[in-house]
Amino acid sequence: MEPSTRSQRLLFMTVTLMFWIAMYTYVPTLSPYLSSRGLSLDLIGVVLGSYGFVQLLIRFPLGMLSDRYGKRKPFILLGMLAASVSCLLFIIPGSWLWPLAGRAMAGLCASTWVAFTVMYANYFAAEDATKAMGNISVMTVSGQMIGMLLSGWMSEGFGADAPFVLGAVIGGIGLLLALVIHEPAKPLHERSGISFSKIKSVIRTKLLLQVALLSLLAHCVLFITMFGFTPLKAEDMGGSGLELTLLVFAFMAPHALASMFTARWFAPRFGNWTTIGAGFILSAVCTVSICYVHSIWILMLTQVINGFAQGLHIPLLLGLAIRDVDPPGRATAMGLYQAVYAAGMFAGPFLAGWLNESWGLNSGFALGGMFGLIAAALCLVYYRSDRKLIKSIND
């Protein structure tokens, strides 16, 4: 007899929460931590960018493997194990290659997110995919927020290595819980996995390719700012561990709030492309404004708006990535989508780190603002294209 869907959803969401807490317990203090170990800004950019580079290489193959064999749970277990190992690698003393290995291992961990999203969607009917992605986006942001809130408190109270130790412990507990997750039963025609010919048709889905490009730009901005150099900007202003924690909360709380209502309220009223485009415009303005901020409290205000703005587009893009894809091909679609946006996780901090080393910390934020404006322009192009298509069908 299968466990109830309700209890399995609750268990799955708990594991999801622990997955993101384990990966994000050290993120706000990571760039200051690397700086304290003597790394230059360009080397910090390489370490930060390795997280996305690994995902760029392996997220799509993992998605195809998951669809090919019709299995999600083994990849979830791999992700929880990688979360713990990545945290432990950071605290090995000596060469900067250990933090690089730790962040690369975190990239492997994040690559298994493909399996998490698809397996959770399988607890719902196919037409509720966007709703399911909205739910899991809230848990994602909540886990990230809890992990990042713990980061400053742990490092200030127990030392610079403490967030990494906590992340390793939480990842280990999450691994044990993941062992008892039950993978939803699939219809007979899906149990043999997806054919390679079907994979080819999945990766040509127009909407999937559109939202993947937008998500690449969104993650460029995200990993230049809050998950990249914004904490370093705060530290340069003299921000304490408590103020870094408040900075994280200022970003993540509105991000979580917007994620809860984007698919349920904003998109139905204003349309997908309008909601996504508005998010990008707000994010671009807030990112550029960081260049002109000289107060930690004003910096927090920019992050309140920026967090809300990114909560408008990131959950919608995630749901749209699999909206037009049949369930047997969703891991392939999600793998492609996440591999493309992983390029933003790599390119954003890598390019910003190079600019920051040559031209100062603010140059990277200017680059992030430019990425946001390009994305907003693409939303306008996609909106007009859809309007033309609808008009031609009606005529």
CA distance 206 to 47: 33
Which of 3-12, 123-132, 250-259 is least confident?
123-132
* Residue 129: band (very low, low, confident or very high) from pLDDT cuts 50, 70, 90: low
**Helix, strand counts (H, E) of the chain:** 17, 0
At 112 the three-state DSSP class reads coil
DSSP character for 93? -
What confidence tens digit (pLDDT) does each residue in 312-330 have? Answer: 998 889 888 878 787 777 7
CA distance 185 to 194: 16
Q: Is the pLDDT of residue 394 over 70?
A: no
Cβ atoms of 361 and 287 within 8 Å: the answer is no
Strands (E), 212-365: none
Q: What integer pLDDT is reported at residue 380 of this predicted model?
A: 94
Q: Which of 368, 374, 378 is nearest to 289 (CA)?
A: 368
Cβ atoms of 286 and 302 within 8 Å: the answer is yes
Q: What mean pLDDT is predicted for residues 8-28?
A: 90
CA distance 174 to 69: 24
CA distance 116 to 267: 24
Q: What integer pLDDT is reported at residue 127 of this predicted model?
A: 62
Q: Is the pLDDT of residue 370 over 90?
A: yes
DSSP character for 266? I
Q: What integer pLDDT is reported at residue 395 of this predicted model?
A: 59
Q: Structure tokens of 36?
A: 């304290």
C-alpha atoms less than 13 angstroms from C-alpha of 144 in its C-beta half-sphere: 22
Give the list of residues 6+ apart from residue 164 with CB closer than 8 angstroms, or none: 25, 26, 87, 88, 90, 91, 102
Q: What integer pLDDT is reported at residue 196 of this predicted model?
A: 60
What's the CA angle centered on 387, arms 383 and 390, to 5 degrees?
140
The average confidence (pLDDT) of the chain is 84
Burial bucket for residue 386 (CB in 10 Å: 0-12, 13-18, 19+) = middle
Q: Which of 359, 347, 247 is nearest to 293 (CA)?
A: 247
Phi, psi at residue 96, to the nearest 5°?
A: -70, -10
Phi, psi at residue 5, to the nearest 5°?
A: -60, -35
Phi, psi at residue 147, to the nearest 5°?
A: -60, -45
CA distance 80 to 144: 15
Q: What integer pLDDT is reported at residue 290 of this predicted model?
A: 93
Cβ atoms of 288 and 366 within 8 Å: the answer is yes
Cβ atoms of 190 and 128 within 8 Å: the answer is no
Q: What integer pLDDT is reported at residue 248 of this predicted model?
A: 81
CA distance 395 to 30: 56
Q: What mean pLDDT is predicted for residues 185-207?
A: 64
* Residue 193: band (very low, low, confident or very high) from pLDDT cuts 50, 70, 90: low
Q: Which of 134, 136, 141, 142 is nearest to 264 (CA)?
A: 134
CA distance 39 to 45: 10
Q: What integer pLDDT is reported at residue 2 of this predicted model?
A: 47
Q: Which of 26, 52, 18, 342 is nearest to 172 (CA)?
A: 18
What confidence tens digit (pLDDT) does each residue in 138-164 have? Answer: 888 889 888 878 887 788 778 888 999
What confidence tens digit (pLDDT) does each residue in 71-126 have? Answer: 888 999 999 999 999 999 998 988 888 999 999 999 999 989 888 888 887 777 66
